[in-house]
Amino acid sequence: MATTKIILQGGGGHARVVLDCLLSQGATVVGIFDPKHTGHIMGIPLRGEYDPGVEADALAIIAIGDNAVRKQVAGRTGHSFVNTLHSSAIFSKHSRMGTGNMILHGSIIQAQTTIGNHVIINTGAHVDHDCVVEDYVHLAPGARLCGNVHIGEGTLVGAGAVIIPGKKIGAWAIIGAGAVVISDIPDHAVAVGNPASIIKTRTP
């Protein structure tokens, strides 16, 4: 990765974690695009509004924690994407993933799991065997997916949440921090508590 140039889109807090992950691998990060921030992060220049003509041969990561915004930005990004996998993470050789993913510090992905595109597996999150994690999902720090769990596109699984084996979480749902999910959760639902219960349904 050291010889591959990489750009980031997003200059907020999540970008700092992704940048740290990349720099720890010796990656050559040549710029961060974010119109809301100026200056530098860890010595890497913030370049303002995204320009597909700048560093056109670089690969990109959308380092934005908000799933919907990450999807929007990915859709208008002209660069090809790359994954980042921290050296402390464990990713089974019998699992697979797409592109643009962020597999961060201390996370674990067990055997025969499928990870989509532009997914965040955040600090210390665990994904057990035979899970499916669709595009634009964010597993927050310490989240736990037991075996054979399916997470739909764009869903946020909050910090420390646990989903027991075999359950399916729909698309664009939110599982609150610390929730324990013992039943399937439909699309766009917000579920919190132990055991998790649905408190509202979001408008698509």
- What residues are annotated to the active site? 129
164 close to 145: Cβ distance less than 8 angstroms: no
Residue 75: exposure state from Cβ atoms within 10 A (0-12, 13-18, ≥19)? exposed
Single out the residue of 112, 114, 23, 111 nearest to residue 61, CA to CA. Answer: 23
Instruction: Return the number of other C-beta atoms located less than 10 Å from residue 126's C-beta.
Output: 19
Single out the residue of 125, 44, 34, 55 nearest to residue 86, CA to CA. Answer: 125
* 8 Cβ neighbours under 8 A, 6+ residues apart: 15, 18, 19, 22, 29, 31, 32, 33, 44, 60, 61, 62, 63
Instruction: Return the number of other C-beta atoms located less than 10 Å from residue 80's C-beta.
Output: 11
